Structure 1
Amino acid sequence: MTRLARVDMDAVAPLYPSDKVAGRVAGRGAHFEWSPPETSIHSRDPIPYRQPTEAETILPSFVDLAGLKSGRLTVMGIAVESISPGQRWVVRCVCGSYEVRRARYLKACAAGQKTGDNEAMCLACAYTRRLQNGRFNPKKAAAAAEAIQNCIR
């Protein structure tokens, strides 16, 4: 008798994926646990932002991006706290998460340079989209498969 024959099906059945996409992702060992890179700011809670000041609006190079909608992102305002030099804008994705993006990225989205597969979205949505399209990290998938094998033993 193999080890898998001793597994109770009532305990395993709830672990099966519930739809086509989940089945495709789970079949490869990939999963949706995601954490943002350390260099970016991603939060489910609102990130503090402010409106442009009068001094900023007078500058000829300044473009007010507040309220701009591009792809899945809506620009809320200028980030109050910035971890790096340069102007950063707080954006809200349709999934409800908040991120901080550079003005250069948002201007490129507004100009239409981000279209098709490069639709503007938060990092979590982009990760999910990559998994849905079949692009995943084989090293992470192999590590997840090994962890499952170790749990079965």
Structure 2
Amino acid sequence: MTRFARVDMDAVAPLLPGDKVAGRVAARGEHFHWEPALGGKVHSGDPIAVRPPNKHELGQPSFVDLKGIRIGRLTVMGIAAEVISTNGQNWVVRCVCGAYETRKAKFIKGSAAGDAPHDAEPMCDWCDKTRRLQMGRCDERKAAAAAQAIMGQNR
């Protein structure tokens, strides 16, 4: 029996590169790590602490409890307990991909009312970036610079 006969291909297959470029990147130990431009938002793979509304918030006529509302791919979990800002209340939302982010009440109310552009489904920044890349929307100058850098390293 060869040593490869004992290898479970279901365990090895996810480790194999998908195409020539992925193989070249994996062989060099290079990696790509994208960070979203959060712009005041918090993005986390772990749950973000939430708190119930306090008496002061419940006493305001303009306060609306948004917990449990689904907008696009996001579900509102509650008010962010540890994220404080001066320009509106931060709510914790969970995307279907499992990521947690904070969003403002204005964004949630506007998306629930249908004020978002008709082609924009509310989702976390990671899913939005992935969706844009799948649709072929990218910055052509950055893509050309990256391709030039890769070609320069091959020589």
- TM class by smaller structure: 0.7 to 0.9
Task: With a CA cutoff of 8 Å and minimum separation of 6, indicate the structure with the bigger relative contact order.
Answer: 1
Name the counterpart of 1:90.
Answer: 92
Where does structure 1 lack aligned partners over 5 or more consecutive residues?
1-12, 23-30
Q: Out of 106, 116, 123, which is 1:104 matched to?
A: 106
Q: TM-score, normalised by structure 1?
A: 0.75
Deviates most, 36-45 or 93-102: 36-45
1:3-82 matches, cutoff 5 A: 14=17, 16=19, 33-39=33-39, 40-82=41-83
Where does structure 2 lack aligned partners over 5 or more consecutive residues?
1-15, 23-30
8 Å Cα contact 2:42/2:101 also seen in 1: yes
- Provide the aligned length of Structure 1 versus Structure 2: 129
8 Å Cα contact 2:84/2:90 also seen in 1: no
Partner SS, residue 92 of structure 2:
strand
Question: Residue 115 of structure 1: CA displacement?
Answer: 5.7
8 Å Cα contact 2:52/2:79 also seen in 1: yes
Q: Kindly report the root-mean-square deviation, in angstroms, between the aligned alpha carbons of the 2 structures.
A: 2.4
Q: Out of 103, 116, 119, which is 1:117 matched to?
A: 119
Name the counterpart of 2:4.
Answer: none
Identity %: 56
Q: TM-score, normalised by structure 2?
A: 0.74
Partner SS, residue 142 of structure 1:
helix
Q: Out of 114, 132, 147, which is 1:130 matched to?
A: 132
